[in-house]
Every structure is written in structure tokens, then in C-alpha cells.
Amino acid sequence: MNAGGRILRADKLGKWYGNVLGLSDVSIEIGPGIAGLLGPNGAGKSTFMKLITGQLRPSIGTVTIAGQAVWNNPGLFRNIGFCPEQDAFYEETTGREFLSGLLSLSGFSTAEVKERAARALEFVELAADADRLIRGYSRGMRQRLKIAQAVAHEPEILILDEPLNGLDPLSKRKVIRLIKEYRTEGRTVLVSSHVLPEIEALTKSIVLVHQGKILAQGDIHYIRDLIDAHPHVVAVKTDDVRALAAIFVGQPDVLSLRFDESEGLVVFETRNRDRLFERLMKVASGDRPAVEEITSPDDNLQSVFDYLIGK
């Protein structure tokens, strides 16, 4: 499949549930690589996921994959794998039977079904439990099985709806590793989550959703820089907070600063973070005051999100 075939595109997409707005005026394009779709519960992430996987019909606008409309187009799913959010299985089947049954729906021959199922189970480290009934699986195993059914037919586009829900930290690391392994060779992976650090661990390319609307899309640092309304926060650990504060208090691009002598911390707010860093490096290269640590506490997804939703 060429790169064009791996593009998810939504154009003025909207979805209503009766009078309740699920998604409004969403226009985005997601190409090869991992993209994180994030927002709080009820933001519209699952609605978007269901629209791009053809489970819901758009109220207005279009959603296409490889240039084709998704709704009522089962042929597209040869190259799409979807891991749903809900914990639902055919409980009376084994993991292997579950995978094999779904693989056979994709049109593979019996031999291929067997081979692909084995490979997928190996990929998610479920080979040892493949012949146990799903009703006996733990939460982590069930989540991995969901991922297995999404990747078993090696789709070019992988869509994962809250894949880390309910997992313990060890399982989360395993799944994150699996997702990162999968994005090789130019595949498109879209992962949704409401837990921002999880998305940060996976990708820098994000789509922020809130109350049915897209707040921002792109590289997280780039988005952060674009938020001109909110100054950047830079925290500096030093042995002489007053001396450091005195150096910067007169600078025009420093909007405000505060210091805490007990913690040895000076916190700057600036609209020109690069200029501030330049000056800090000059101070750090000198003897006094000693600069021990420089951090940007708000250069993360949570802060970006909070700024965008107006917190």
C-alpha cells in the first residue's frame, strides 16, 4: 500500500446523537507514524474512532481512508486494524479460536489463518495461553488479545481506542512497546487516550479533542510554542536565588519571576523561552550564581491541554 493509502482524512466531520453533540466540525489528516488522539472522558474521542472505523455514519462532513468513504465500505478493512475500547469478547472461545475466526473473515486461507494467528499471539506474548477460554483471561491478557486481533492481518492502518485502559504499569509498558514496534515501515497508527503521559510515551504528534472539537493538532512542542497567550514557565535551581533573580528582573522578555529560598528555586515566566535559555547558559557558564538545574515544567501535554481548554 502506498503512503496515500495510509491517510485518514476527516473533512468538516460532525456527529449528533439526537440533540447531543458528539463531534463538531472536525477537519484533520493523519498520515504515517503514530498520532495520539487525546482528551478527557466525553471529549469525543470514541465518537471519532467509531466514525473513522465505519461504526457510525457522519451526520455531516466526510471521513475517508485512502480516499474512500468509510461508512458501509467493508473492503477498506483489509488494511485497517481496530482495537476497540470496550472489553468484549466471544467468551466461550479460546484466544486462538477468537483470532482465527476473525482472520478467516478477512479472507485468508486456512493455512494462513493458522500462521497469522500464531504470529499475532507471539507478538502480544499470549502464545502460552492461546488455548485457554477467554473468560479465564486476566485484564491485561484480554487487552493484549484485542491488540492481537487488530494486528493479526498486518494492516497498514492501526487504530487503537484507549489500548492502555485498566492495565497495570508492567502491562502498559509491554503494550507501549508493541505499538512502537508496529509503526515501522511507514504504517499509520492512531492511538486514543485520556491519560496524557501515556500518549507522551508513545508519540510527539498529537490531536487534542475537547467537547467535540479539535483544539490543536501537531507536534506537542510546536503546539506549546504556538500558545502565545500563555507564557512559558522555566524553573531554575540555584544556590543563590536572589542573585539570579536580580540578573533577570530587568530583562524585558521576562514577564514575571518568583523565588523560593528554601527550595533554591527561581521560576520565570517568559514569552521568549529561547532568549531566556540563551542568557541562562551564559550565567551557567560563569561562577556565580551556580545554576544546578533548568526545567520547563509546562512543556508537557497536560500543561498544553490545560492552556488550550482555558484552565
Partner 1 sequence: MKLSPFLSVFRFSARLVRRSRRARLLAAVSLLPVVLAIALQITRAAVPGRPLEGLDVFSNVVMGFSLQFLVLLLSLFFGTSIVADEVDNKTLTYPATRPVSRATFILGKYAAAVSFLLVLVLASTILSFLILMIDRLSYGTAWAFLGRSLAALSFATVCYTALFTMAGTFLRKSILFGLVFCFGWENVVQYFPGTTQKFTIMHYLKSLLPGLQAGAGGTDNAGMLKFLLFRHEPTSVPVAVLTLVILTAAFLALACFLFSRKEYLFDE
Residues found near partner 1 in the complex (CB under 8 A): 17, 53-57, 72, 74-78, 80-82, 84, 86, 88-90, 92-93, 97, 101-102, 104-110, 149
Minimum Å gap between C-beta 100 and partner 1 is 9
Minimum Å gap between C-beta 49 and partner 1 is 10
Task: Compare residues 8 and 80 and give the one whose CB is closer to partner 1.
Answer: 80
Using CA atoms, how far apart are residues 134 and 157, in angstroms rounded to an integer? 26
Task: Compare residues 48 and 82 and give the one whose CB is closer to partner 1.
Answer: 82
Minimum Å gap between C-beta 15 and partner 1 is 10
Minimum Å gap between C-beta 174 and partner 1 is 22
Using CA atoms, how far apart are residues 208 and 37, in angstroms rounded to an integer? 6
Amino acid at 127: A
Largest CA distance in the chain: 75
Minimum Å gap between C-beta 112 and partner 1 is 9
Calculate helix-pair angle for 95-105, 139-151, nearest 10 degrees.
20
Task: Compare residues 94 and 238 and give the one whose CB is closer to partner 1.
Answer: 94
Task: Compare residues 77 and 268 and give the one whose CB is closer to partner 1.
Answer: 77
Task: Compare residues 70 and 257 and give the one whose CB is closer to partner 1.
Answer: 70
Strand order of the sheet with strand 60-65? 20-30, 8-17, 60-65, 68-69
Using CA atoms, how far apart are residues 161 and 142, in angstroms rounded to an integer? 14
Q: Which of 271, 257, 272, 263 is nearest to 292 (CA)?
A: 263
Q: Which triple of cell numbers denotes residue 253?
A: 522578555
Q: Which of 211, 302, 274, 304 is nearest to 23 (CA)?
A: 211
Minimum Å gap between C-beta 106 and partner 1 is 6
Strands 188-193 and 33-38: parallel
Task: Compare residues 159 and 223 and give the one whose CB is closer to partner 1.
Answer: 159
Minimum Å gap between C-beta 80 and partner 1 is 7
3-class secondary-structure state, position 236:
strand
Q: Which of 106, 87, 8, 7 is nearest to 52 (CA)?
A: 8
Using CA atoms, how far apart are residues 259 and 248, in angstroms rounded to an integer? 12
Minimum Å gap between C-beta 131 and partner 1 is 14
Task: Compare residues 46 and 238 and give the one whose CB is closer to partner 1.
Answer: 46
Burial class (CB in 10 A: 0-12, 13-18, 19+), 252: exposed
Q: Which of 163, 178, 201 is nearest to 126 (CA)?
A: 178
